[in-house]
């Protein structure tokens, strides 16, 4: 009998935003900020919390046309405004049972813009990987719209 071991998927994405590192970083730093933009375009954060400190936890209840989804994690590293790391685990998905992935974000100044470099490790399978590619890339659209309101309102 032969067995195969699934290697956890690693997702790497970059996106540039017309805002400062501090402004982009701040979008991740409170529950209220996350709730204003986080998730794919067809998804809204409807409840949760964020204890934004190293060792603090977050929990987001997100509603989409496909139902209610809950994700949570623990902040591992906070180096304002350049680095953020947190664990990531879906609470209602059997593929994620006993799986805790890691999201690492780097915020790099490029002129007056910020390039966000995301590395999401430990995604348990190709189906979940594809869902996270969609979620993060669609989420960047939501973050860009949120930042436009924040930065535009500050001018």
Percent of the chain with pLDDT over 70: 93
Residue 3 within a domain: no
Residue 98 within a domain: yes
Query: The domain that contains 128 carries what CATH number?
Result: 3.30.530.20
pLDDT at 3: 35
Residue 1 within a domain: no
Domain count, the chain: 1
Residue 135 within a domain: yes
Q: Quick check: 40 pLDDT over 50?
A: yes
Q: Which domain holds residue 84?
A: 9-154
Segment 71-95, tens digit of pLDDT: 999 999 999 999 999 999 999 899 9
Residue 4 within a domain: no
**C-alpha span between 97 and 124 (Å, rounded):** 10
Residue 38 within a domain: yes
Q: What is the DSSP string of 104-134?
A: EEEEEEETTEEEEEEEEEEE-SHHHHHHHHH
Q: What does the mean pLDDT of the chain come to?
A: 91
Q: Which range scores top for mean pLDDT: 5-9, 29-33, 89-93? A: 29-33
pLDDT at 7: 52
Per DSSP, which regions of 80-112 are E strands?
83-90, 101-110
């Amino acid at each position: 009998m032969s067995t195969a071991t699934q290697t956890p998927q690693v997702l790497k994405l970059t996106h540039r935003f017309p805002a400062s590192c501090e402004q982009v970083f701040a979008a991740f730093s409170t529950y209220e900020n996350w709730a204003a933009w986080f998730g794919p375009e067809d998804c809204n954060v409807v409840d949760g919390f964020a204890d934004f400190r190293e060792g603090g936890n977050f929990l987001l209840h997100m509603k989409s046309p496909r139902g209610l989804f809950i994700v949570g994690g623990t902040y591992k590293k906070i180096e304002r405004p350049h680095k953020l790391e947190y664990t990531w685990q879906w609470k209602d998905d059997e593929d994620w049972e006993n799986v805790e992935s890691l999201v690492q974000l780097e915020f790099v100044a490029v002129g007056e813009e910020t390039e966000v470099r995301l590395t999401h490790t430990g995604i348990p399978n190709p189906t979940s990987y594809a869902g996270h590619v969609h979620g993060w890339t669609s989420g960047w659209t939501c973050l860009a719209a949120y930042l436009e309101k924040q930065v535009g309102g500050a001018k």
